[in-house]
Amino acid sequence: MPTAAVDPTFIAPRGSAQRFFETIGNVTAAWGICKFDHTRYSHYRGLRWLVLLREIAFLPSTVLALRRAKRVCGWVDVLHLNEFTGLPALWLARRMLRPRSTVIHVRSLACEAPEMARTRWLHAQLRRADAVVAIDESVRATLPADLRVDVIHNAFTPSSADTPDVDIEKRLDTLRPESFKVGFVGNLLRVKGIGELIEAVGITRDRGLDIEVVVVGDDARSSRGPRAWLLRLLGLHQDLRAEVEAQIARLNLTNRIHMVGFTPAIARVYRRLDALCFPSHFDAPGRPIFEAAFFGVPSIVALRRPRPDTLVHDVTGLAFEPGSASQLADAIGRMARDRDAARRMGVAARGMAERSFNATRNAAELLAVYRRISPR
């Protein structure tokens, strides 16, 4: 946003987000911020209701963080909730910070079960906000049709991801020049579809295709200790690097799938790829799709209903059925066999990214929302 357009104070959990926000404005860090999850994929059901115990445990730290933020910022023109799962924190913030107006950002597909009281409650909370922002048309489609929603896409500045990383360059230099190179970017979670991708690489190998995969990611948190043991026992722990490595070894794919961990120099990875794979079970486009697109890389995405603002099937990339390793293998094989078509998709993807995910333009759109709802 333009200099001096906003005076931001961030309330964020401790960690990488906190450190990033500290480069922008004041930050009040919390041990945890309480949430209520009513997204399509991970809404509460069965043993997932136990996750509410964590949210209850985060209530004191949320209150303490809001009290500290009140001392820092005093009065608040606009309170911006970064994701609609944070509605309990928003309820507290309204009472403690007394904002003049509120914005609710919706980044995940909302659960669309109208028979659930939770869904009706969610819709009521969205209607109470002065503005609702969805990150794309797929997310917007899960919200009430009669609700005013501003669709403002996420943004990416390619130069910010082009930091030096000698180690990652050395590892990328080991890729075979003649192979078709596919990237996976994200935490090693079952829900991200990493298992299907590994299985798909095995299928393409058996079909005689030379495919190499660069996996940029790792476990989201420690897989050891009593907490991890308990979460695994309850079926709530999804970190699975050991499982991923075992699957790669079992299928004899160690020379085709390269685990490189996380890197801030993601631009250097994208420049080496022929395609990006986003096989998430969320049935939604993710950030790596448009990040890769800025570098002319087409995407292969698990989407039942791709929408033209994020993926045009057979134009900017290919869509396949979430959870289907065979369809994913078909899509990878199609691009690998027709590399000219893959390059054309990459050019089209770059054009879409520059239109939809421009940081300056999208920041201006969000600032316009702030100005629209702020009292004169």
Question: SS3 string of 227-292?
Answer: HHHHHHHCCCCCECHHHHHHHHHHCCCCCCEEECCCCCCHHHHHCCCCEEEECCCCCCCCHHHHHH
Quick one: pLDDT at residue 74?
A: 83
Does the residue 24 lie in any domain?
yes
Q: How far is the C-alpha of 241 from the C-alpha of 264, rounded, in Å? A: 20
Q: Which two tokens stand for residue 203?
A: 């299928």
| pTM assigned to the model | 0.87
Give the Cα separation of 90 and 75 in Å (integer): 16
105 shares its domain with 170 = no
**Is 87 found in the same domain as 111?**
yes
Residue 241 is predicted with a pLDDT of: 85
Q: Are residues 279 and 369 in the same domain?
A: no
For residue 219, how far is the Cα from the chain centroid? 15
Per-residue pLDDT reduced to its tens digit, 58-106 = 999 999 999 999 998 888 999 999 999 999 999 999 999 999 999 999 9
Domain that holds residue 15: 9-155+358-373
- Sheet containing strand 131-134, edge to edge, reads 78-81, 101-106, 131-134, 150-151
**Phi, psi dihedral angles at 31 (to 5 degrees):** -60, -40
Output the six-digit token pair for 250.
């079992």
Both 139 and 220 in one domain: the answer is: no
- pLDDT at residue number 20: 86
- Please answer whether residues 182 and 277 qualify as being in contact, where contact means their C-beta atoms are separated by less than 8 angstroms: yes
Domain contains 2: no
Closest by alpha carbon to 107, among 45, 7, 202, 40? 40
> Are 263 and 366 part of one and the same domain?
no
Q: Give the domain CATH number at 132.
A: 3.40.50.2000
In a domain, 1, yes or no: no
Same domain, 298 and 344: yes
User: What is the model's pLDDT at position 231?
Assistant: 58
Same domain, 223 and 296: yes
Q: Are residues 216 and 310 in the same domain?
A: yes
Whether residue 306 sits in one domain with residue 235: yes
Q: Are residues 265 and 144 in the same domain?
A: no
Q: Are residues 180 and 59 in the same domain?
A: no
Regions of the chain where pLDDT drops below 70: 220-239, 376
Domain assignment present for residue 167? The answer is: yes
